[in-house]
Amino acid sequence: MAEIDLIRENIEYEQLLGEGTADTVLRGEYLIPDTHPDLLEILTLDAKPIIINKDIMQDKVYVEGRIEYNILYLSKEEEKMAVQSVGYSDKFSNYIDISGAEHNMDCEAECYIEHIEASIMNERKVNLEGIIKLKVDVFKNYQYEVVKDIDSSENVQMLKKPYIIDKIVENSFHYLDAKSTMKVSMDKPQIGKILKHDLCIHKKDTKVFDNKIQISAFAKIEILYRGMDTRDVFYLDDDVYISQDIDIEGLTPDMQCMSDFLLDNIDLDIKQDDLGENRIVDAEAKIKVNVKVINKEKFDVIEDAYSSQCLMELCKEKYNLNVLHGHNYCDTIVKENIELDKEAPIPVQILMCSGEVCITDKKLVENKAVVDGVVNVDVLYRSNDDSRYLHKVSEEIPFNCSVDIPGTKIDMLCFSKAFVDNIEANIEANTIGIKAIVKVCAKVTYTTEKEFLVSINKLEEAIPDKKASITIYVVQPGDTLWNIAKRYFTCVDEIVKINNIENADLIKPGDKIIIPGRAII
């Protein structure tokens, strides 16, 4: 007899192995450079952490990062208070335990400042203390072969059912450049020194088209500078649209795309205008974008098979598959009025407002993901007090939002991220009003067990001999035409034809069916 020729399909998918967090303590003493005046009062402390390396080891992940500090402080110049800035850089690292992690696995890592503060040790030394929260997700890639089809002369009958699997068709990093030329108007003094800068990536969008991905966003570049030959401080900003088309063969618009945008680097260059004054700032930021495209790939799975000419042994294996149930996002408005302390100077002008988001909790309910978080807000303002002409207030503003993902169940898994899409501060009586738009993204997955046919062995035993020319069979509860045909070593098409059955799926207990002459076992 001819051999059974199996046509195989390679299935590859990604599944979350585990997630973990670790708190990394920041602590250091830093000297004020000799080129700077003495420190009298700290105004603001900006800390920007970035992950520069992650190394997956056995049962753990080692994460390394860099943190850039920027301190605005008040000093005394010619008997008046004036603002200065000083920058420092440091490194951080930590291990995060993930059971089952191995060197060749994929890992996603993120970090954010949970708490940080600066204190004055003396007029030439500052102490920085804080906590960075590290979070990692480790994914395991699974690959295995299943039997997709059977090519044989043994009259093999197959019962196939459609199945959908999430297949990663693209997982890559790309870089976007945000460039801006900002000019200082003549009604303001020329630039003496840039005190601080910030960049907010917002209105992020990633779309899939035929054979390409389109990435777009806005990069808001903000600069605070001190005027030349004056202690006055001024603000510049520009919102730059950035986009890029990436050609990738095989993509279609029905595929699902997820992306992460991270600031990789920003450079500022002060230039002179036609009059020789420092009124031009060239800014260039490099933004790293991780793009992941998932296709709901459809294929027919062989649920059962038999032959009317030989006996076969079906070998199946069970696999736990990770399924992307859905993902969505929502915009939530976070509002609060910050009450000023009695000792705080009265604000007359907002100079700069920034906010960072921290997710504190997440849970799934029916049809949605519920996310709790905090927006850490810093506002720098000009006051009416000449001795404290700049002042800063900070506030932690809690928020709660729901992301609609139809069909979500409480026992599924949830992944969420949040970022500030826009933030504004306004002086309102004796308070500072804050209005922020926070974009919350949620992804819901679940694990399901599926049995696949992996091989077929042809047995040496012969099929039973034919006992009768025809058989009348009475349908029993739970019977299907497939099971009946398999039992009598015939095929469904023959039973349907000889019995004039209009719908092979509609048979009921008690029906009498003529079986063509085959073996009875």
- Evaluate whether 475 touches 508 at the Cβ level (below 8 Å): yes
* Beta carbons of 69 and 49 less than 8 angstroms apart: no
pLDDT value, residue 517: 66
Residues 34 and 121 in one domain: yes
Q: Are residues 366 and 431 in the same domain?
A: yes
- Rounded Cα distance between 351 and 73, Å, is 15
Closest CA to 336 of 377, 282, 385, 284: 377
pLDDT at 1: 41
The confidence score (pLDDT) of residue 389 equals 87
Q: CA-CA-CA-CA torsion for 201, 226, 397, 333, nearest 10 degrees?
A: -50
Any bridge partners for residue 464, and if so which?
Answer: none
Nearest to 103 by CA among 56, 158, 62: 56
Q: Which of 88, 122, 140 is the last residue of a domain?
A: 140
Q: What is the pLDDT of residues 419-464, one digit of tens each?
A: 999 999 999 988 999 999 999 999 999 988 889 999 988 888 877 7
Is 224 part of any domain? Answer: no
376 and 486 together in one domain: no
The answer to whether residues 347 and 381 touch, using CB atoms and an 8 Å cutoff, is: yes
Same domain, 471 and 358: no
The beta strands (E) that lie in 184-254 are given as 191-209, 212-227, 233-247
What is the enclosing helix (H) or strand (E) of 387?
none
Q: Are 450 and 163 in contact (CB under 8 A)?
A: yes
Q: Please indicate, yes or no, if residue 167 is contained in any of the structural domains.
A: no
152 domain-assigned: no
- Is 411 in the same domain as 501? no
Structural domain includes residue 246 = no
Higher pLDDT, 308 or 253: 253
Whether the pLDDT of residue 518 is over 70: the answer is no
For residue 217, give every residue at least 6 positions away whose Cβ sits within 8 Å of its Cβ, in sequence order, or none. 176, 201, 202, 203, 204, 205, 241, 242, 243, 261, 287
Beta bridge partners of 210: none
> Residue 307 above 90 pLDDT?
no
Predicted confidence band of residue 3 (pLDDT cuts 50, 70, 90): low
In a domain, 405, yes or no: yes
Looking at residue 467, its pLDDT comes to: 63
Is-contact 359 418, C-beta < 8 A? Answer: yes
User: How far apart (Å, rounded) are the C-alpha atoms in residues 73 and 36?
Assistant: 11
Q: What's the pLDDT tens digit per position in 491-516?
A: 898 899 999 988 888 888 999 999 87
Q: Please check whether residues 412 and 481 belong to one and the same domain.
A: no
User: For residues 495 and 472, what is the distance between their CA atoms, to the nearest angstrom?
Assistant: 11
Band of pLDDT at residue 8, cut at 50, 70 and 90: confident
Number of separate domains in the chain: 3
pLDDT at 521 (0 to 100): 39
Mean pLDDT of the chain: 90
110 falls within a domain: yes
pLDDT at 502: 86
Q: 487: domain range?
A: 465-516
Within 10 Å of residue 327's Cβ, how many Cβ atoms?
19
- 439 and 507 in a single domain? The answer is no
User: 334 and 412 share a domain?
Assistant: yes
In a domain, 182, yes or no: no
Location of structure tokens 């960075």: 132
Q: What is the pLDDT of residue 520?
A: 42
Based on the fold, state whether residues 483 and 404 are members of the same structural domain.
Answer: no
What's the CA angle centered on 185, arms 184 and 189, to 5 degrees?
70
Domain boundary among 81, 116, 140: 140
- Per-residue pLDDT reduced to its tens digit, 204-252: 999 999 999 999 999 999 999 999 989 899 999 999 999 999 999 999 9
Cα angle: 140, vertex 260, 245; to 5 degrees: 110
Kindly report the CATH number assigned to the domain that includes residue 471: 3.10.350.10
Phi/psi of residue 388, each to 5°?
-135, 60
How far apart CA 75 and CA 52 sit, in angstroms, is 35
Closest CA relative to residue 135, chosen from 174, 98, 166, 109: 109
CA 505, distance to chain mean position in Å, is: 44
Residues 338 and 437 in one domain: yes
Residues 379 and 489 in one domain: no
- Number of helical H runs and strand E runs in the chain: 2, 20
Q: What is the pLDDT of residues 29-80, one digit of tens each?
A: 999 999 999 999 899 899 999 999 999 999 999 999 999 999 999 998 877 8
Q: What is the pTM of this model?
A: 0.82
Q: Is there a single domain that holds both residue 23 and residue 110?
A: yes
Instruction: Decide if 320 is inside a domain.
Output: no
